[in-house]
Homo-oligomer: A and B are copies of this chain.
Amino acid sequence: MAAAAEATEPRRRLDLSVYLVTDTRLSGPRGVAEVAAAAARGGVTIVQLRDPDATTRELIAAAGALQAVLAPHGVPLVINDRVDVALAVGADGVHLGDRDMPAATARNLLGPGRIVGVTVHDAAEAQAVDIAIADYAGIGPVFTTTTKVGARPAIGVDGFRALRRLVPLPAVGIGGIDAARTADVIAAGADGVAVVSAICAAPDPEAAARAIAAAVAEGRAR
């Protein structure tokens, strides 16, 4: 219903350059909102709240806290998996993996004005992306990651480049990416890099985000 009513609303313009995926454990006692606030000062352009162990009520609280610190920077917030949490807080969108709600169902519930991101691990998934539904793809894991339980084998920069060509949408590389690896991923065709530990586990998340933003610029200049 929302889709029909708002069908003329334009898709949101996305800046995926430095895409922070939150990690509650790695953020430690300072909390994800403080990490995200620092990262936004350092140049993060989009934030995904991801906490598969949190209750719904905890996710709603965390999402609200993130919105409060990101809104002054104009940085959008998307919610991993949980369309209910996105609707409850009026988040900017969701990011969906293959165990989450199908993207078409999420788009129908969220309407056209919000962000729907999808995860791509292989060529079959790349070719299955519906560009009329999804706004962007997260492609990976590019490098071996330790922050996601049950992650698949790393595809490497060459694997990323190959998959990225199959997805006619904006795309970020994800998985084990830090500032030192960012330029290679950007040069392989990424519109941005998604990072978890490189910011959440950093002693200075603002400086970490700034270093990654600089590496994105360096990769684009190659």
Within A43-94, which residues are at the interface with B (CB < 8 Å)? 55-58, 60, 81-85, 87-88
Within A25-59, which residues are at the interface with B (CB < 8 Å)? 55-58
Partner of A105, one of B88, B98, B99: B88
How near does chain B come to A80, taking the closest CB pair, in angstroms? 10
Query: Is the beta-carbon distance between A84 and B60 smaller than 8 angstroms?
Result: no
Within A75-124, which residues are at the interface with B (CB < 8 Å)? 81-85, 87-88, 98-102, 105, 109
Query: Is the beta-carbon distance between A84 and B109 smaller than 8 angstroms?
Result: yes
A54 — nearest CB in chain B belongs to which residue?
Answer: B99
- In the bound complex, residues from chain B placing their C-beta under 8 Å from that of A55 are 99-100
Query: Is the beta-carbon distance between B83 and A87 smaller than 8 angstroms?
Result: yes
A105 — nearest CB in chain B belongs to which residue?
Answer: B88
1/0 contact string of A9-34 vs chain B (CB within 8 Å): 00000000000000000000000000
A81 and B99 CA atoms in complex are apart in Å by 18
- In the bound complex, residues from chain B placing their C-beta under 8 Å from that of A85 are 84
A109 and B56 CA atoms in complex are apart in Å by 15
CB-based closest 5 A-B pairs? A84-B84, A55-B99, A83-B84, A56-B100, A88-B105
A-B contact pairs, 22 of them (CB 8 A): A55-B99, A55-B100, A56-B81, A56-B82, A57-B98, A57-B99, A57-B100, A57-B101, A57-B102, A60-B101, A60-B102, A60-B105, A82-B84, A83-B84, A83-B88, A84-B85, A84-B87, A84-B101, A84-B109, A87-B109, A88-B101, A88-B105
